[in-house]
Amino acid sequence: MKILVYGAGNIGSLYAAKLKDAGHDATILARGTRLHEIREHGILLQDFHSGQKSTTWIETVDRLAPEDAYELVLVILPRISVSEILPIVAANRNTPSVMFFGNNAGGSEEMIEALGRERVLLGFPGAAAVPHDEYIRYIILDQREQATTIGELDGSDSKRIKSIATALQSAGFPSSICANMDAWLKTHVAEISPTANALYMAGSDIDGLKRNRKALVLMIRAIREGHRVLSALGIPITPSSHKIFRWIPEFLLVAITRRKLDDKAWSIKIGHAVAARDEMRTIADEFRELARKSGIATTAIDQLRTYLDANKPSADNLHRCPTPTARTGVLS
């Protein structure tokens, strides 16, 4: 498959390198210092679990020209940057499929208006990556935790979406085709935004978050508020297994979260949020608009959101719970 990865950040570099190594005709679009680094040294990766390092030499470009032709453009950019590149992608009519691959609580209408509904696909990576010396240290998540998830806007199991899933699988990314990517992405934001903001509340320190009961309780309550927002708007919690947040008692969710945070891999899985406040602010703003439309009270979400301000002091390690804003325990 002939693929352009539009964006050479940590995740874009990872997917481009793995697709290239799998034998696909992959090109990466980069600019400035990053373009020079890839041309001079290749894409340097290090597997978090094995420590294995690799170098991938890949074709690079610094622009998408109107006459360029790819089977797929995989847009892997911060959410705030997507609007800026839509006119460039729209001007290229030789590429039939453009997958916007990342956080999105605002929906796909802007992409559809620019490109036409038939060209737009949605997806989300099943991987995490952070810089480590000159390498990008990465983790590829397994199918049970979070596969690379992709889908057509209409939810169909089309030939092209199957081809893209096959390409991703061949590159080592467990992949899943989702029938409602819009709901999947909004559910993801409902969960990752409070998680990142709780991390900021704990001073951007994972061990600090593990010890900070107040931050963990607020995080869980904020996720539940987010689920109620989506349900009020008729947006199904996707995948449906995530409805479990509604039924597991709060104290048990705190214990489960603490156990997860003991895993050193979380330094990558949520550690990337430390350098992504602008991204987290953008998706928090998008979700706040959904909350406004729903009419659902979001006290915990709003309290955690204040920690997006890098100048706000982190909370001390309080072991008491915040004043309840919703019923704890089994939530109806």
**162 and 128, same domain (yes or no):** yes
List Cα–Cα distances, 106 to 21, 109, 176, 181, 291, in angstroms.
34, 8, 22, 12, 12
237: left (phi over 0), alpha (psi -120 to 50) or beta: beta
* Residue 328 pLDDT > 50: no
Q: What mean pLDDT, rounded, does the chain reach?
A: 92
**153 and 19, same domain (yes or no):** yes
* Confidence at 151, pLDDT banded by 50, 70, 90: very high
Domain of 95, CATH number, reads 3.40.50.720
Please, how many CA atoms are within 13 Å of residue 329, restricted to the half-sphere of its CB?
1
**189 and 281, same domain (yes or no):** yes
Q: Could you read off the pLDDT of 153-212 as tens digits, one per residue?
A: 999 999 999 999 999 999 999 999 999 999 999 999 999 999 999 999 999 999 999 999
**21 and 167, same domain (yes or no):** yes
**153 and 29, same domain (yes or no):** yes
* Residue 323 pLDDT > 70: no
**171 and 213, same domain (yes or no):** no
* Confidence at 319, pLDDT banded by 50, 70, 90: very low
**157 and 34, same domain (yes or no):** yes
Helix intervals (H) in the chain: 10-21, 32-41, 79-91, 109-115, 143-146, 159-170, 181-201, 206-211, 213-232, 244-247, 250-261, 266-269, 277-294, 299-305
Domain boundary pick from 179, 194, 218: 179
* Residue 326 pLDDT > 80: no
Is 108 a domain residue?
Answer: yes
Is 94 a domain residue?
Answer: yes
The reported pLDDT for the residue numbered 316 is 56
Is 332 a domain residue?
Answer: no
**212 and 303, same domain (yes or no):** yes
**174 and 57, same domain (yes or no):** yes
* Residue 318 pLDDT > 50: no
* Confidence at 5, pLDDT banded by 50, 70, 90: very high
Q: Please name the residue that has the structure tokens 């622009």.
A: 63
Is 147 a domain residue?
Answer: yes
Is 161 a domain residue?
Answer: yes
Q: What is the 3-state secondary structure (H, E, C) of 162-227?
A: HHHHHHHHHCCCCEEECCCHHHHHHHHHHHHHHHHHHHHHCCCCHHHHHHCHHHHHHHHHHHHHHH
**290 and 226, same domain (yes or no):** yes
Identify which of 153, 282, 286, 291 has the alpha carbon closest to the alpha carbon of residue 230: 291
pTM value?
A: 0.92
**174 and 43, same domain (yes or no):** yes
- Name the residue range of residue 94's domain: 2-179
* Residue 320 pLDDT > 70: no
Average of per-residue pLDDT across 20-26: 98
**200 and 239, same domain (yes or no):** yes
Alpha carbons 70 and 54: distance in angstroms, whole number: 26
Q: Could you read off the pLDDT of 92-147 as tens digits, one per residue?
A: 999 999 999 999 999 999 999 999 999 999 999 999 999 999 999 999 999 888 99
Is 330 a domain residue?
Answer: no
The reported pLDDT for the residue numbered 11 is 96
The reported pLDDT for the residue numbered 314 is 77
Domain boundary pick from 135, 160, 179: 179
Domain boundary pick from 113, 144, 179: 179
Is 316 a domain residue?
Answer: no
* Residue 312 pLDDT > 90: no
Average of per-residue pLDDT across 237-262: 93
Is 32 a domain residue?
Answer: yes
If one counts the domains in the chain, the total is 2
The reported pLDDT for the residue numbered 170 is 98
Average of per-residue pLDDT across 81-96: 96
